[in-house]
Structure 1
Amino acid sequence: MRRRLSAPAVALFLKTADLLDLKVEDRMALLGGISRQTYHNWKTGRTASLTRDQLERISLVLGILKGLRLVFAEDQQGQRWLKAANTDAGFAGRAPLEVMTDGGVTGLYRVRRYLDAWRGVK
């Protein structure tokens, strides 16, 4: 099952990362700290079977994009929010993207839950 999902998941992640205008370093961190060579291989279509952790991370990033699109009228507003310092609880003055890249899966869940709560989803 993971093998079948891997290539489409990577393709969706890359499109999402492009849309969010993420740096390569941020992309590698979001995918669990993969190497530059692995990222390059995935970007050129040479995707091995992703781990459960990697699929979960991609799912969370896709959910964050969905949340941004439901909260903000334009993608650029969501990009700015993602990269701007945030003093709300859970961010401590850090940008949501920084929480996502430095906090592992927990950081991804934190941003996802924050956006869900902002939308009124429990």
Structure 2
Amino acid sequence: MIEQELAGSGLRTFFRICEQWRISPDQQGSLLGCEDRRTLDSWRRGDCAGVPGDVLIRISYVLGIYKTLHTIFPNELQADGWIMRPNSAPLFAGRPAIDLMAKEGIDGLAAVREYLDAQLG
């Protein structure tokens, strides 16, 4: 029961962050490891029954990335726009962070989180 409650609040927060980041539904599915559009739509509507544990891990990374960006950048537009802007750091090779996160799944999310944490020093 607790895991389902966590999934519900985590997914609601995840989708709000995705709105702020302007992430497409396809990218949202990739971040969550869910390629089934019906399931993704069901989660968006609040049906959280049977949400796999790895989805909670993915959501945790997104929340951490969001928090770190809002710590690094002094204004909300900078923080929320960073994820979609091309990045010259070697990890990103000129691509936006969303590309790495969506393509590499948990590994990409972890890499972006680690990169941002290192920026905090």
TM-score (norm 2): 0.91
Deviation at 1:5, TM superposition (A): 1.5
Deviation at 1:13, TM superposition (A): 0.9
Structure 1 unaligned segments of length 5 or more: list them. none
Deviation at 1:43, TM superposition (A): 1.1
Q: Using the alignment, how far apart are the partners of 1:96 and 1:42 within structure 2?
A: 24
> What root-mean-square deviation, in Å, do the aligned CA atoms of Structure 1 and Structure 2 show?
1.3
One-letter code aligned to 1:77:
Q
Aligned twin of 2:114: 113
**Superposed CA offset, 1:68-110 (max 9, x none):** 1001112211233211111212111211111110111010011
TM-score (norm 1): 0.90
Aligned twin of 2:16: 15
Aligned twin of 2:49: 48
Instruction: Tell me if structure 2 keeps the 8 A contact 1:31–1:58.
Output: yes
Instruction: Tell me if structure 1 keeps the 8 A contact 2:21–2:81.
Output: no
One-letter code aligned to 1:36:
R
How many matched pairs?
A: 120
Q: Percent identity?
A: 33
One-letter code aligned to 1:90:
L
Q: Using the alignment, how far apart are the partners of 1:17 and 1:80 within structure 2?
A: 11
1:95 aligns with 2:79: no
Partner SS state of residue 67, structure 1: helix
Q: Using the alignment, how far apart are the partners of 2:28 and 2:14 within structure 1?
A: 9
Instruction: Tell me if structure 2 keeps the 8 A contact 1:83–1:95.
Output: yes
Structure 2 unaligned segments of length 5 or more: list them. none
